[in-house]
């Protein structure tokens, strides 16, 4: 799999990244460590060498699983992890990075990201210059190779970028959720910041496996995802039916088509999670789907039949509903 340069850094990443939130097991059910290890290894063997994790995924459990799967090939992979919003003070960032280094059994992290902007989840507000001062120190020491942010708006991104080089933004981004295009994408393009899209399959909606009228268990966090509700769900199903002939033409799945469209967008890469090895292998095959300019335009038009009906909020979640337990599917 041909790699791409991460922002202005010297780090090279694969256009499809392996997402490992489920490997943390926290707020997920039915996840076995042995499956996670096999799946991460299968992703690597299929050509996906960039692995995205976070300290918050199971309080370091995901990071430890990544290390168990890939320590013997560390020189051939890129680790991207994150510091959580409750650890953004100077000393906390340093300590959190050291924990992640131990969890990952490595002496450097390729991409270290701020998971959420300061103040999120009622956290204490920490000046961005204090957090960036710690990150810049870690970078100078060689403990991290690049700095990124996740869930930042354009304004927040521009603010933090004034205190140091930011090489990536990780937002929710898919064919059915394109809010970032109106907000941060133009800034990223102008400033050579790579986009690492999470939820690139809209939590499985873009696989086409959920029938119209499907009802999620209240314990499944998709029950509060706006895309699975009411008219949004209906518009999505209509769009999927229009996408099927294009996928058939390329002899690929709807999921692979959605990933192929996403990584064809400017400076955009996709973080695709997987529960089992075959899913990871299927995700990797998306790079072989080559879409013409006409097909990209057609897919764009189909996508807008969903996006144009969404409200103006940048939040994909219906906050009036409680968050319970994530159910792995």
Is residue 172 exposed (0-12), middle (13-18) or buried (19+ Cβ within 10 Å)? buried
Between CA 327 and CA 219 the distance in angstroms is: 7
Give the integer Cα–Cα distance in Å for 36 and 277.
8
- What is the helix (H) or strand (E) element at residue 67, kind and residue range? helix 61-70
Measure the CA angle with vertex 267, ends 265 and 273; round to 5°.
80
* Cα–Cα distances in angstroms (integers) from residue 227 to residues 234, 259, 299, 302, in the given order: 9, 18, 18, 15
CA gap 13, 16 in Å, rounded: 8
Residue 81's SS3 state is strand
Choice among 57, 79, 173, 198 that is catalytic: 57
Q: CA-to-CA distance for 88 and 117, rounded, in angstroms?
A: 9
What angle (nearest 5°) sits at the alpha carbon of residue 247, between those of residues 38 and 266? 80
Alpha helices in 285-319 (DSSP H): 293-307
Q: Which residues, in sequence order, are CB contacts of 251 under 8 Å at separation 6+?
A: none
Is 163 noted as a catalytic residue in this protein? no
Is beta strand 168-170 parallel, antiparallel or unpaired with respect to 326-327?
Answer: unpaired
Q: Is 120 strand, coil or helix?
A: helix
- Two structure tokens written together for 311: 């409200």
One-character DSSP codes across 97-110: HHHHHHHHT-S-BS
Contact 199, 173 (CB under 8 A): yes
Instruction: Report which of 209, 231, 228, 208 is spatially closest to residue 218, judged by C-alpha positions.
Output: 228
Q: Which residues are catalytic?
A: 57
């Amino acid at each position: 799999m041909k790699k791409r340069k991460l922002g202005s850094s010297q780090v090279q990443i694969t256009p499809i990244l392996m997402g490992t939130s489920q490997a943390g097991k926290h707020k997920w059910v039915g996840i076995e460590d042995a499956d996670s290890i096999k799946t991460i290894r299968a992703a690597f063997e299929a050509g996906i060498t960039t692995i995205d994790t976070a300290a918050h995924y199971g309080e370091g459990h995901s990071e430890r699983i990544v290390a168990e799967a890939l320590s013997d090939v560390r020189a051939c992979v890129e680790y991207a992890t994150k510091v959580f919003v409750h650890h953004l003070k100077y000393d906390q960032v340093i300590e959190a990075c050291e924990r992640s280094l131990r969890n990952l059994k490595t002496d450097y992290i390729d991409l270290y990201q701020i998971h959420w902007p300061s103040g999120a989840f009622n956290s204490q507000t920490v000046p961005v210059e204090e957090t960036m001062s710690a990150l810049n120190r870690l970078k100078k020491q060689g403990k991290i190779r690049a700095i990124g942010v996740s869930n930042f708006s354009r304004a927040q991104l521009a603010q933090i970028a004034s205190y140091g080089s930011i090489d990536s933004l990780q937002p929710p981004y898919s064919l059915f959720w394109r809010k970032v295009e109106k907000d941060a994408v133009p800034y990223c393009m102008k400033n050579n910041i790579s986009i690492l899209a999470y939820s690139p399959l809209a939590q499985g909606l873009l696989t086409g496996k959920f029938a119209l009228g499907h009802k999620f268990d209240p314990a499944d966090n998709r029950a509060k995802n706006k895309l699975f509700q009411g008219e949004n769900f209906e518009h999505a199903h209509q769009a999927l039916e229009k996408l099927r002939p294009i996928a058939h033409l390329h002899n690929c799945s709807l999921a692979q088509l959605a990933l192929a469209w996403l990584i064809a967008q400017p400076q955009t890469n996709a973080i695709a999670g997987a529960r089992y090895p075959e899913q990871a292998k299927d995700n990797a095959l998306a790079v072989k789907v080559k879409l013409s300019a006409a097909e990209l335009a057609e897919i764009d038009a189909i996508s807008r039949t969903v996006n144009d009906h969404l409200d103006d909020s940048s939040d994909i979640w219906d906050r009036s509903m409680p968050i319970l337990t994530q159910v792995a599917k």
